[in-house]
Amino acid sequence: MSDRKVTYLEAISQAIREEMLRDDAVFLLGEDVGSYGGAFKVSAGLLSEFGADRVIDTPMSEAAIIGSAVGSALMGMRPIAEMQFIDFITCGFDQIINMASKMYWRVGMPVPMVVRGPSGGGTKGGPFHSTSPEAWFFHAPGIKVVVPSTTYDAKGLLKAAIRDNNPVLYLEHKLLYRLPELREELPSEDYVVPLGKAIVRREGEDMTILTYGAMVHQCLKAAQKLEEDDDLEVEVLDLRSLAPLDREAITESVKRTNKVLIVHEDTLTGGIGAELSAILAQDLFEYLDGPITRVAAPDAPFPYAPALEAAYLPNADKILSAARELAAY
């Protein structure tokens, strides 16, 4: 282990630097990633270490950034394309959906690229800087979707994503970037966290909570409260990877607990929870002792006013209420 605790943000920066040192084909491109060091300082210091050929400041055009990444990946490079805020990935939607995700099926060529950037709310960023876009891409075959919740995973999953021969969407929740309680010592040796593998963050027998990203921590708070006040042992399964989805881990947990609560920050309708609900209803119906329950954001644009943002976002109290109702069923 290293002798210093690092933040979630520093873990991401370490992963990029180490992969650039390991493989000359890896490079970073995006708005202000060079001399400015990135909007959140993820890439601080990389320009001086690797030069302008491998840390490339781009015009303010997500379509150009992602399109350039697709082309360079097809030519054998391994680009890491940063979206300054993940909301603006919509400007490069065509390049991801019609080019990156379909290219292997069209011509049999791998497209080893990562599109990464800050997502999610809780930082009073308003409707244009708080998006959780995972469901849009979860729906598209050919692209992997990864959402780390811990510092260890932030580094290990990004390294795995960079080495993967498929396009990977890597979502960093900006609320977690410098969260003090997420600081941890990371292994000094090289490691990866495999894509497509969930992890049990808390074991339990009375209910399974399926979640990912920043909501993992809200679910853990709720689970602790349920144990203290209600004598309920709730299992929290951090999906980590949404595509591919770890169905085996989901099945194993639900067969043991028989009740399922799904929690995500994204809006309710058509979110990841909808597909999870369909999987559960189709494959595990006979194991369920209660209705499949979801906690998510309402179907509305993300609000800017702090009071409205607090009311909009799922949190431990909302999870606690839903879990108690489900437990009593």
Residues belonging to the active site? 129
Amino acid making up residue 125:
G
From CA 160, how far away is CA 191, in angstroms rounded? 9
Closest CA to 251 of 226, 220, 282: 282
From CA 20, how far away is CA 24, in angstroms rounded? 6
DSSP 296: E
Local structure of 293: helix, strand or coil: strand
Closest CA to 290 of 323, 260, 262: 260
Q: Could you tell me how far CA 327 lies from the centroid of its own chain?
A: 28
Q: Which residues contact 133 (CB under 8 A, 6 or more apart)?
A: 86, 87, 89, 90, 119, 171, 266
Structure token digits, residue 176: 């977690």
Cα–Cα–Cα angle for 167, 196, 55, rounded to 5 degrees = 35
